[in-house]
Amino acid sequence: MRYMIDTANIEEIKDIIEFFPIEGVTTNPTLVSKEKMDFKTLVTGIRDVIGPDRVFFVQLRGDTAEEMIEEARALKKLIGDNYVAKIPMGRAGLKAVMTLSKEMPCCVTAICSRQQAMLAARAGASFVAPYVNRLDNIGAGGVEIACDIAGMLDHYGLPCEVVGASFKNVDQVQECAMGGCHVVTLKAEMFDMLAGHPLTDSGIAGFDKDWKAFYGENKILDLLK
Protein backbone atom coordinates (compact mmCIF):
# COMPACT_ATOMS: atom_id res chain seq x y z
CA MET A 1 0.00 0.00 0.00
CA ARG A 2 1.17 3.50 -0.85
CA TYR A 3 0.63 6.79 0.99
CA MET A 4 -0.50 10.23 -0.10
CA ILE A 5 -1.25 13.38 1.87
CA ASP A 6 -4.70 14.92 1.61
CA THR A 7 -4.17 18.66 1.93
CA ALA A 8 -3.60 21.86 -0.02
CA ASN A 9 -1.53 23.48 2.72
CA ILE A 10 1.99 24.00 1.40
CA GLU A 11 3.64 24.05 4.85
CA GLU A 12 1.97 20.75 5.80
CA ILE A 13 3.14 19.23 2.54
CA LYS A 14 6.73 20.43 3.09
CA ASP A 15 6.77 18.90 6.56
CA ILE A 16 5.24 15.55 5.66
CA ILE A 17 7.35 14.86 2.55
CA GLU A 18 10.50 15.54 4.60
CA PHE A 19 9.74 12.81 7.12
CA PHE A 20 7.43 10.28 5.43
CA PRO A 21 7.51 8.24 2.18
CA ILE A 22 4.76 10.10 0.36
CA GLU A 23 3.86 9.25 -3.23
CA GLY A 24 1.75 12.31 -3.91
CA VAL A 25 -0.79 14.92 -2.87
CA THR A 26 -4.56 14.83 -3.17
CA THR A 27 -6.74 17.91 -2.91
CA ASN A 28 -10.41 18.77 -3.17
CA PRO A 29 -12.37 22.05 -3.47
CA THR A 30 -12.81 22.30 0.31
CA LEU A 31 -9.10 21.92 1.02
CA VAL A 32 -8.15 24.36 -1.76
CA SER A 33 -10.62 27.05 -0.70
CA LYS A 34 -9.49 26.71 2.92
CA GLU A 35 -6.08 28.11 1.95
CA LYS A 36 -7.61 31.41 0.72
CA MET A 37 -5.00 31.78 -2.02
CA ASP A 38 -5.06 32.55 -5.71
CA PHE A 39 -5.84 29.15 -7.23
CA LYS A 40 -3.13 29.16 -9.90
CA THR A 41 -0.49 30.31 -7.40
CA LEU A 42 -1.51 27.59 -4.95
CA VAL A 43 -1.49 24.79 -7.52
CA THR A 44 1.88 25.72 -8.99
CA GLY A 45 3.26 26.22 -5.49
CA ILE A 46 2.30 22.69 -4.50
CA ARG A 47 3.88 21.30 -7.68
CA ASP A 48 7.10 23.19 -6.94
CA VAL A 49 7.22 21.73 -3.42
CA ILE A 50 6.53 18.11 -4.33
CA GLY A 51 8.61 18.11 -7.52
CA PRO A 52 7.82 16.47 -10.86
CA ASP A 53 7.97 12.84 -9.73
CA ARG A 54 5.15 12.81 -7.16
CA VAL A 55 1.56 12.58 -8.36
CA PHE A 56 -0.76 15.54 -7.86
CA PHE A 57 -4.54 15.16 -7.79
CA VAL A 58 -6.57 18.32 -8.47
CA GLN A 59 -10.35 18.09 -8.56
CA LEU A 60 -12.37 19.52 -11.42
CA ARG A 61 -15.25 21.97 -10.84
CA GLY A 62 -17.18 21.96 -14.12
CA ASP A 63 -20.88 21.16 -14.06
CA THR A 64 -20.83 19.40 -17.41
CA ALA A 65 -18.54 16.82 -18.91
CA GLU A 66 -17.39 19.34 -21.50
CA GLU A 67 -16.43 21.86 -18.82
CA MET A 68 -14.55 19.19 -16.86
CA ILE A 69 -12.65 18.09 -19.94
CA GLU A 70 -11.59 21.67 -20.67
CA GLU A 71 -10.51 22.21 -17.05
CA ALA A 72 -8.50 18.98 -16.96
CA ARG A 73 -6.60 19.81 -20.12
CA ALA A 74 -5.77 23.28 -18.82
CA LEU A 75 -4.61 21.87 -15.49
CA LYS A 76 -2.42 19.25 -17.15
CA LYS A 77 -0.79 21.96 -19.24
CA LEU A 78 -0.14 23.97 -16.07
CA ILE A 79 0.92 21.13 -13.75
CA GLY A 80 2.72 18.88 -16.21
CA ASP A 81 3.33 15.15 -15.89
CA ASN A 82 2.01 13.18 -12.93
CA TYR A 83 -1.19 15.19 -12.85
CA VAL A 84 -4.33 13.18 -12.03
CA ALA A 85 -7.70 14.64 -12.94
CA LYS A 86 -9.94 14.12 -9.91
CA ILE A 87 -13.55 13.85 -11.07
CA PRO A 88 -16.74 13.58 -8.97
CA MET A 89 -18.84 10.46 -9.46
CA GLY A 90 -21.97 10.92 -11.58
CA ARG A 91 -23.24 10.97 -15.16
CA ALA A 92 -21.20 14.02 -16.19
CA GLY A 93 -18.14 12.71 -14.40
CA LEU A 94 -18.29 9.31 -16.09
CA LYS A 95 -18.69 10.96 -19.48
CA ALA A 96 -15.63 13.12 -18.80
CA VAL A 97 -13.60 10.10 -17.70
CA MET A 98 -14.38 8.23 -20.91
CA THR A 99 -12.69 11.04 -22.85
CA LEU A 100 -9.97 12.17 -20.45
CA SER A 101 -8.72 8.68 -19.57
CA LYS A 102 -7.25 8.50 -23.08
CA GLU A 103 -5.14 11.59 -22.30
CA MET A 104 -4.30 11.44 -18.58
CA PRO A 105 -4.95 9.37 -15.45
CA CYS A 106 -8.31 10.05 -13.81
CA CYS A 107 -9.50 9.50 -10.26
CA VAL A 108 -13.24 9.24 -9.66
CA THR A 109 -13.99 10.57 -6.18
CA ALA A 110 -16.91 10.53 -3.75
CA ILE A 111 -17.31 6.80 -4.32
CA CYS A 112 -19.78 5.34 -1.83
CA SER A 113 -20.70 1.98 -3.35
CA ARG A 114 -19.14 -0.96 -5.08
CA GLN A 115 -21.08 -0.43 -8.29
CA GLN A 116 -20.05 3.22 -8.53
CA ALA A 117 -16.46 2.01 -8.43
CA MET A 118 -17.07 -0.60 -11.11
CA LEU A 119 -18.70 1.93 -13.42
CA ALA A 120 -15.78 4.34 -12.91
CA ALA A 121 -13.23 1.62 -13.62
CA ARG A 122 -15.05 0.53 -16.77
CA ALA A 123 -15.17 4.17 -17.91
CA GLY A 124 -11.38 4.21 -17.76
CA ALA A 125 -10.54 5.61 -14.33
CA SER A 126 -7.04 4.84 -13.08
CA PHE A 127 -8.15 5.41 -9.48
CA VAL A 128 -11.38 5.33 -7.47
CA ALA A 129 -11.62 7.05 -4.09
CA PRO A 130 -14.13 5.57 -1.63
CA TYR A 131 -15.00 7.64 1.46
CA VAL A 132 -14.14 5.24 4.27
CA ASN A 133 -14.99 7.19 7.42
CA ARG A 134 -18.03 8.92 5.95
CA LEU A 135 -19.47 5.50 5.19
CA ASP A 136 -18.53 4.23 8.66
CA ASN A 137 -20.32 7.22 10.19
CA ILE A 138 -23.65 6.04 8.77
CA GLY A 139 -23.02 2.38 9.59
CA ALA A 140 -22.37 1.44 5.98
CA GLY A 141 -19.03 -0.32 6.54
CA GLY A 142 -16.59 1.97 4.78
CA VAL A 143 -13.56 -0.25 5.27
CA GLU A 144 -15.45 -3.30 4.00
CA ILE A 145 -16.65 -1.43 0.91
CA ALA A 146 -13.16 -0.11 0.10
CA CYS A 147 -11.63 -3.58 0.46
CA ASP A 148 -14.41 -5.20 -1.55
CA ILE A 149 -13.79 -2.70 -4.34
CA ALA A 150 -10.07 -3.52 -4.35
CA GLY A 151 -10.82 -7.23 -4.58
CA MET A 152 -13.43 -6.71 -7.28
CA LEU A 153 -11.09 -4.65 -9.46
CA ASP A 154 -8.31 -7.21 -9.08
CA HIS A 155 -10.72 -10.09 -9.78
CA TYR A 156 -11.78 -8.58 -13.11
CA GLY A 157 -8.26 -7.51 -14.02
CA LEU A 158 -9.17 -3.84 -14.30
CA PRO A 159 -6.22 -1.41 -14.34
CA CYS A 160 -7.73 0.74 -11.60
CA GLU A 161 -6.53 1.28 -8.04
CA VAL A 162 -8.40 2.08 -4.83
CA VAL A 163 -7.37 5.32 -3.11
CA GLY A 164 -8.95 5.03 0.32
CA ALA A 165 -9.98 8.48 1.58
CA SER A 166 -11.68 10.01 4.61
CA PHE A 167 -9.90 8.34 7.55
CA LYS A 168 -10.19 9.15 11.25
CA ASN A 169 -8.13 6.46 12.96
CA VAL A 170 -5.21 4.08 12.51
CA ASP A 171 -7.39 0.97 12.60
CA GLN A 172 -9.27 2.07 9.47
CA VAL A 173 -5.98 2.54 7.61
CA GLN A 174 -4.64 -0.82 8.81
CA GLU A 175 -7.79 -2.69 7.82
CA CYS A 176 -7.68 -1.14 4.35
CA ALA A 177 -4.05 -2.21 4.01
CA MET A 178 -4.87 -5.76 5.05
CA GLY A 179 -7.86 -5.80 2.71
CA GLY A 180 -5.84 -4.97 -0.40
CA CYS A 181 -6.43 -1.24 -0.91
CA HIS A 182 -3.70 0.09 -3.14
CA VAL A 183 -3.33 3.65 -1.80
CA VAL A 184 -4.52 5.71 1.17
CA THR A 185 -4.64 9.49 1.32
CA LEU A 186 -4.43 10.96 4.80
CA LYS A 187 -4.56 14.23 6.72
CA ALA A 188 -1.17 15.39 7.97
CA GLU A 189 -1.84 14.48 11.60
CA MET A 190 -2.58 10.87 10.69
CA PHE A 191 1.02 10.16 9.71
CA ASP A 192 2.35 10.69 13.23
CA MET A 193 -0.48 8.49 14.52
CA LEU A 194 0.60 5.73 12.14
CA ALA A 195 4.28 6.06 13.04
CA GLY A 196 3.75 6.27 16.81
CA HIS A 197 3.21 3.61 19.46
CA PRO A 198 3.55 3.82 23.26
CA LEU A 199 5.74 0.71 23.36
CA THR A 200 8.03 2.27 20.76
CA ASP A 201 8.28 5.40 22.89
CA SER A 202 9.06 3.46 26.07
CA GLY A 203 11.62 1.29 24.28
CA ILE A 204 13.48 4.30 22.89
CA ALA A 205 13.33 6.02 26.28
CA GLY A 206 14.97 2.94 27.78
CA PHE A 207 17.80 3.01 25.24
CA ASP A 208 18.37 6.69 26.00
CA LYS A 209 18.44 6.14 29.76
CA ASP A 210 20.92 3.26 29.55
CA TRP A 211 23.22 5.16 27.15
CA LYS A 212 23.31 8.26 29.31
CA ALA A 213 24.05 6.20 32.42
CA PHE A 214 27.50 5.43 30.97
CA TYR A 215 28.20 7.94 28.20
CA GLY A 216 26.36 10.96 29.57
CA GLU A 217 25.20 13.49 26.96
CA ASN A 218 27.80 12.38 24.40
CA LYS A 219 26.51 11.22 21.04
CA ILE A 220 28.27 8.69 18.80
CA LEU A 221 30.09 11.35 16.79
CA ASP A 222 31.41 12.88 20.01
CA LEU A 223 32.93 9.54 20.95
CA LEU A 224 34.48 8.96 17.52
CA LYS A 225 36.53 12.14 17.48
Q: Catalytic residue numbers?
A: 86
What are the residue ranges of helices labelled H in the chain? Answer: 10-19, 29-34, 39-50, 65-79, 91-100, 114-123, 132-137, 142-155, 170-178, 188-195, 198-215, 220-223
Sorted by sequence, the CB contacts under 8 Å of residue 120 that are 6+ apart come out as: 89, 94, 97, 108, 111, 128, 160
Which burial class, exposed, middle or buried, applies to 143 when counting CB atoms under 10 A from its CB (0-12, 13-18, 19+)? buried
